[in-house]
Structure 1
Amino acid sequence: MTAKDTGTRPTPTAVLVRGSGDVDEESLAYVREKVGAVLGRPGVPAVSGEVRVSRAAAHHDRLPWSARAELAVGDATVVVGAEEATAHELADRLHDRLRARMERTLHRGDQARRAAAAPPWRGGGAAGERG
């Protein structure tokens, strides 16, 4: 039996998407799809963690849907949160924020601590030059 036979698809990540409160399976599936789209891209290292989706029980709450993702991406930790009025808006917002945060995290190592040369009073400048 393959993943195609069972209706599931293998994901390269170990990210659990859970719901609490009055969260239906269709909404969780949409959130899983959106999170999988971000984390399943080429060049993304091993990711593990959890995405929690909740719906407030109070009917007067303006933004009853909320989500919080806490992921370990390589040696970095990525935390993203979102609140929206509907489950689809929440999944879209979470997707956008997670994609932006992943881009920063993945490309941070390329430019981390690459400052210009040290100023002359700290020993920078050309070799053998002292100001």
Structure 2
Amino acid sequence: MAAKDIGARGLGATVRVRAESDVDEGSLAHLRASLAHLRKKVAAVLDRPGLPPASGEVRVVRAAAHHVELPWSAGAEIRLGNHLVIVHAREASARELADRLADRLRGNTDRVTHRGDATPKAATPPPWRGGPGR
């Protein structure tokens, strides 16, 4: 399986979108066109204000077998500051794959970036430990 770079337009120079499979140039051109939606979705998730700089790679694979129910799969490994966000998705079409991957990427980046917002609160000790109610 050879990885072919299908561009990083709109994602900055640090996040790449790659196709991993043995596809001919005609199929690769079709893949580039159909995954423009994916590049836009990923860029919209990662280019939000307040997020640390992102770097990493999104790999897209289309199964060669015609009997596969969900032939499109993608895996993203994105580093946001000191955090690594890993997302996987499988879908029936490239557009559905882009939507699913963007939703999961947004959820995971939100979870990682807001992790520090939920500082642990000191719990009130129970009454047998000297807390209220004594």
Class of the TM-score when normalised by the shorter of the 2 chains: 0.7 to 0.9
1:45 has 2:58 as partner: no
Choose the corresponding residue for 1:34, options 20, 26, 41.
Answer: 41
Partner of 1:3: none
Question: What displacement does 1:14 show?
Answer: 1.2
Deviations 1:63-91 (A, max 9, x none): 00000000111111100010000000000
Going from structure 1 to structure 2, the CA distance change for 1:11 and 1:51 (only over 3 Å counts) comes to: closer
Give, in angstroms, the shift of residue 28 of structure 1. Answer: 2.8
Count of aligned positions:
118
SS class of match (2:35): helix
Pairing 1:116–2:122 present: yes
Instruction: Using the aligned pairs only, state the percent identity.
Output: 55
State the 1:38 CA deviation: 0.4
CA 1:11/1:50 → structure 2, altered by over 3 Å: closer, same or farther? closer
For 1:58 and 1:97, the matched residues in 2 are separated by 26
Match of 2:14 in 1: 14
Unpaired runs of 5+ residues, structure 1, are: 1-7
1:59–1:72: structure 2 CA closer, same or farther, 3 Å change rule?
Answer: same
> What's 2:86 paired with?
79
Alignment pair present for 1:96 and 2:103 = yes
- Name the CA shift for 1:125/1:87 in 2 (closer, same or farther; >3 Å): same
Q: Secondary structure at the match of 1:69?
A: strand
User: Normalization by structure 1: what TM-score?
Assistant: 0.78
Judge conservation of contact 1:117–1:124 (CA < 8 Å) in 2: no
Structure 2: stretches of 5+ with no match in the other structure? 1-7
CA offset digits 1:43-81 (Å, max 9, x no partner): 111110100010000100000000000011111110001
